[in-house]
Chain A
């Protein structure tokens, strides 16, 4: 396959996974074009998190192929796999910062040890990324000294420092106190507006409505509906997404972003 102007950056084909005897993913496929933001929603246990972790092989899929810029990724070629993962940033629900490193070191460590960039240069780059997510003043604090929202912003800076082509976000605001969700969503909104290619599992309906290009609704390991939010979320449309979001709206009030 050749890369065309509007060809997908990332393509997942027919991804299947069985975990603990249960079929978590049943042949899921999707593509991400450059600058596109796709959102994964659906009931918990539907396979969203597993799908995201299959994309960068944190969970190796049983079946299916992943292509980045048209090239298939093979998990057994370690060197290629490590290079691929550097191009695919991942944001976790519970941040997963490195507890023994301060914010600046958290962002710079992979630049130094994986990309082999000189220390001074790596620290400068890390500082730029921390400022980009609005926490340059927290560079010397350790994870134990940061709030949840600040931790998540450090983890976003850590991913951005690697210059990823695609970002995978696994419910980045689900572990946050309600008053901290806004600051993280604002950072992600800026990324989307700057043209970052992203796929994100989230239940922030307001965010989805205004920023998502496409919604993928996952249930029991399959994408059962997909389309732009304007279509799927339109009141009166009897879509599964519409029902689900109506329920979510009843349960949670959303902060303004």
Chain B
């Protein structure tokens, strides 16, 4: 077996790609989740007009392939005079896509909270925003967390689409190498292993978060 290919070519290239992948995932996952919470809340409890807008947004971004969205951002927007760097286009695309999915999980979590609690906040003199912020959302987020974690796991894997719009991350680095040396099997198995490790680490962290947020009556301890 030719170890020097692994040590001198594959691992350094993939590590370099890994850093870029992580740079994609962290802002996309965190901003995407926050935006998903806002959009989900508007879709569940917002003014009817905002609700419609939110539904339209989620419908559009869940209903079209992510590749198409990335192409529009990177190749389409220049027609309107808007030029995005590959990295920016990728992060913007991921945020828009992931927050559409997150909003759906959050909306489900919100709708699972009994209406009586909302009445109780109103009876105590809470404003609408106060009761969302302090009473309804903290519960809805706990209920939605397993689904939201799932979406983050998806995001880790679909971040590979960034290489299609020329941002060379983990999959991109691997593909270049595989083509150059014509060693597709080993390279893509190695890429798979990298993603598996990333997902496992993320899963571990998210489970820990779930445990930290545990409250009697909400899921398992």
Q: Residues of A at under 8 Å CB distance from B?
A: 53, 56, 58, 78, 82-86, 88-90, 92, 94-100, 109-110, 113-114, 141-145, 155, 158-159, 162
Contacts and interface: CB of A to CB of B under 8 A. Distances in A.
A99 B127 contact: no
Contacts of B125: 82-86, 110, 114, 162
Contacts of B142: 100
A144 B214 CA distance: 13
Contacts of A113: 126, 130, 134
Contacts of B138: 100
Given A113-B134, A142-B216, A96 B119 contact: yes
Contacts of B193: none
B135 interface: yes
Given A99-B139, A99-B218, A100-B139, A78 B117 contact: no
Nearest to B123: A90
B1 interface: no
A96 B139 contact: no
A109 B123 CA distance: 13
A110 B124 CA distance: 7
Contacts of A99: 117, 139, 215, 217-218
A109 B124 CA distance: 10
B116 interface: yes
A158 B121 CA distance: 11
Nearest to A112: B134
Contacts of A142: 215-217
Which of A86, A113, A141 counts the most B-chain CB atoms under 10 A from its CB? A113
A83 B127 CA distance: 10
Interface string B28-47: 00000000000000000000
Contacts of A85: 122-125
Nearest to A57: B122
B47 to A, nearest CB: 15
A162 B216 contact: no
Given A84-B125, A95-B116, 15 more contacts: A56-B123, A58-B122, A58-B123, A82-B125, A83-B125, A85-B122, A90-B120, A96-B117, A98-B120, A99-B117, A110-B121, A110-B124, A114-B124, A145-B217, A155-B120
B114 interface: yes
Contacts of A109: 134-135
A145 B216 contact: yes
A108 to B, nearest CB: 11
A192 B217 CA distance: 34
Interface in B93-132: 114, 116-117, 119-127, 130
A82 B123 contact: no
A185 B154 CA distance: 53
B215 A158 contact: no
Contacts of B119: 53, 58, 92, 96
Interface in B168-221: 215-218
Nearest to A88: B123
A235 B3 CA distance: 101
24 contacts: A58-B122, A58-B123, A78-B127, A83-B125, A85-B123, A85-B124, A86-B124, A92-B116, A92-B119, A95-B116, A96-B114, A96-B117, A99-B117, A99-B218, A100-B135, A100-B138, A100-B215, A109-B135, A110-B125, A114-B125, A142-B216, A144-B217, A145-B216, A145-B217
Nearest to B114: A96
Contacts of A155: 120
Nearest to A99: B217
A93 to B, nearest CB: 9
B120 A92 contact: yes
A161 to B, nearest CB: 9
B135 A98 contact: yes
A90 B125 CA distance: 11
B83 to A, nearest CB: 45
Nearest to B116: A96
A144 B130 contact: no
